[in-house]
Amino acid sequence: MTTVPPTVPVIAYIALGTNLGDRQAHLDAAFTALSALPGTRLLARSSLYETAPLGPAGQQDYLNAAAKLETTLAPRALLDACLTIEQARGRIRAERWGPRTLDLDILLYGNTTSQDPHLTLPHPAMLNRAFVLAPLCDLAPELIIAGRTLAQHLALLNQTGIRRIPVA
């Protein structure tokens, strides 16, 4: 994976999720923070999706969304910025797949593939998670990954418990 910032902006897709506190406020703050990153422009944001939690029982439902960015930040710099945004919203990493104020995952960074211990690209689980693909399909349904469009991948998944909340 390259650590040198690209000279030409790259399109990156970020998954957003939250199930603690004022979920809408966490997502709004995250979109604002992403759009304020150096060398970065928020090109589009998905609708919101309310989804059942993945992980430990007893969690509140999540609000999930996706962002399409144009950025000159290198992948690792973008990851570090996402982690900083999470921390600013009170993210505490107490348990795997546990409740969280905000979760930001880089799904795609241009055509970059990486097996870096800190950042795997494309995101290794995105094609198996309807709560990730549904908002991502709002932004790029015809994008081809692993021989299928994102919309085709989504159609193969169980979408029970995912409710679209249109952006006002």
Per-residue buried b or exposed e for 113-125, using 16+ beta carbons within 10 Å of the residue's own CB: ebeeeebebbbee
100 is catalytic: yes
* Euclidean distance between the first and the last CA atom of the chain, given in angstroms as a whole number: 38
In the set 45, 89, 91, 129, the catalytic residue is 91
Q: Are 52 and 163 in contact (CB under 8 A)?
A: no
Amino acid at 104: L
Catalytic, 80? Answer: no
Indicate which residue of 61, 76, 80, 105 is catalytic.
105
Specify whether the CB–CB gap between 3 and 34 falls below 8 A: no
Catalytic annotation, pick one of 23, 100, 129, 138 = 100
Question: Which residue out of 23, 45, 89, 103 is catalytically annotated?
Answer: 103
Catalytic residue check, 103: yes
Exposed/middle/buried for residue 58 (C-beta within 10 Å: 0-12, 13-18, 19+): exposed
Residues annotated as part of the active site: 91, 100, 103, 105
